[in-house]
């Protein structure tokens, strides 16, 4: 089956080159491919156009939904690989949506790349990567969703999945934080699932620079207190809340 991608503009798949804006690879030149569809629904999601289609009644703070036909496009694995290779960065970031929902097609796409690339997958941590894909991945950027995301905990925080990622040396954790209470939730999760603090990044929730800076002021101090790393959202400061960046 082909891959289902998000779009930068109607009919144009969201495959682009930019700097990684978040987490352990922040600032590195990267090639991005953004897949469509997600099994969760974060109320603050800044890529809701990958899942909040007309008829989807799951809550989102923007309230409005988008038309699926204008925001989804399919590509063969070979065509997606060709578009990726045409861009310069040799670091590939596969994002979404939830990319692991399309794991078999992703494995075929990566295998179709004519030259080696460093492959990162950004995931909400609820879906297990099958062996065929897992063997091709260099790094997982795992972003479990806290209570303020609006997702039920039994869907968003699956104990066996969290335990797996905690033991996976290729996995780095990134938690989206809006209030100090969210940090307390992260501390409890890290303790409950033996997540090493050295592999935890806390990132302020926000879709504009003012909000990010305001939250960074207190979040940086809490990172220092608990031994976590801080990550900003570099792409928001550089380009704003826009697609293809």
- Per-residue model confidence as pLDDT tens digits over 203-244: 999 999 999 999 999 999 999 999 999 999 999 999 999 999
Whole-number average pLDDT of the chain? 97
Q: Tell me the pairing of strands 229-230 and 12-13.
A: unpaired
In percent, the amount of the chain with pLDDT more than 90 equals 98
pLDDT at 1 over 90: no
Domains and CATH numbers, the chain: 3-239 (3.20.20.70)
Helix (H/G/I), strand (E/B), else coil: 143: coil
Q: What is the pLDDT of residues 140-173, one digit of tens each?
A: 999 999 999 999 999 999 999 999 999 999 999 9
CA atoms within a 13 Å half-sphere pointing along the CA-CB vector of 210 = 0
pLDDT at 115 over 90: no
pLDDT at 136 over 90: yes
Bridge partner residues of 74 (DSSP):
4
Helix (H/G/I), strand (E/B), else coil: 142: strand
Question: Which residue reads 């305001």 in tokens?
Answer: 214
Mean pLDDT of 50-54: 98
Mean pLDDT of 90-115: 97
State both tokens at 66. Answer: 């988008």
Alpha helix (H) residue ranges in the chain: 68-71, 77-85, 103-111, 131-134, 153-156, 159-167, 180-193, 209-226, 234-239
pLDDT of residue 84: 98
Number of H helices, E strands in the chain: 9, 11
Bond into 136 cis (ω within 30): no
Residues with Cβ within 8 Å of residue 181, at least 6 apart in sequence:
none
Q: Which of 167, 143, 181 is nearest to 40 (CA)?
A: 143
């Amino acid at each position: 089956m082909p891959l289902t991608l998000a779009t930068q503009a109607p009919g144009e798949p969201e495959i682009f080159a930019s700097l990684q804006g978040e987490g352990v690879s922040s600032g590195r030149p990267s090639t991005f491919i953004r897949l469509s569809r997600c099994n969760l629904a974060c109320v603050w999601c800044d890529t809701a156009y990958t899942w909040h289609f007309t008829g989807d009644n799951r809550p989102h703070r923007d309230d409005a939904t988008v038309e699926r036909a204008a925001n989804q496009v399919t590509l063969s694995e070979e065509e997606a690989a060709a578009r990726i290779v045409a861009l310069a960065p040799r670091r590939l970031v596969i994002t979404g949506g939830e990319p692991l929902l399309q794991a078999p097609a992703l494995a075929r796409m990566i295998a179709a790349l004519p030259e080696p690339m460093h492959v990162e997958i950004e995931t909400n941590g609820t879906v297990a990567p099958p062996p065929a894909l897992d063997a091709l991945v260099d790094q997982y950027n795992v972003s479990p969703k806290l209570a303020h995301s609006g997702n039920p905990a039994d869907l968003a925080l699956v104990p066996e999945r969290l335990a797996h990622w905690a033991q996976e040396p290729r996995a780095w954790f990134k938690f989206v934080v809006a209030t100090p209470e969210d940090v307390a939730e992260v501390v409890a999760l890290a303790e409950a699932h033996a997540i090493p603090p050295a592999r935890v990044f806390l990132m302020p929730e926000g879709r504009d620079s003012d909000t990010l800076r305001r939250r960074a002021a207190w979040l940086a101090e809490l990172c220092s207190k608990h031994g976590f790393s801080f990550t900003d959202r570099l792409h928001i400061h550089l380009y704003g809340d826009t697609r293809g960046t």
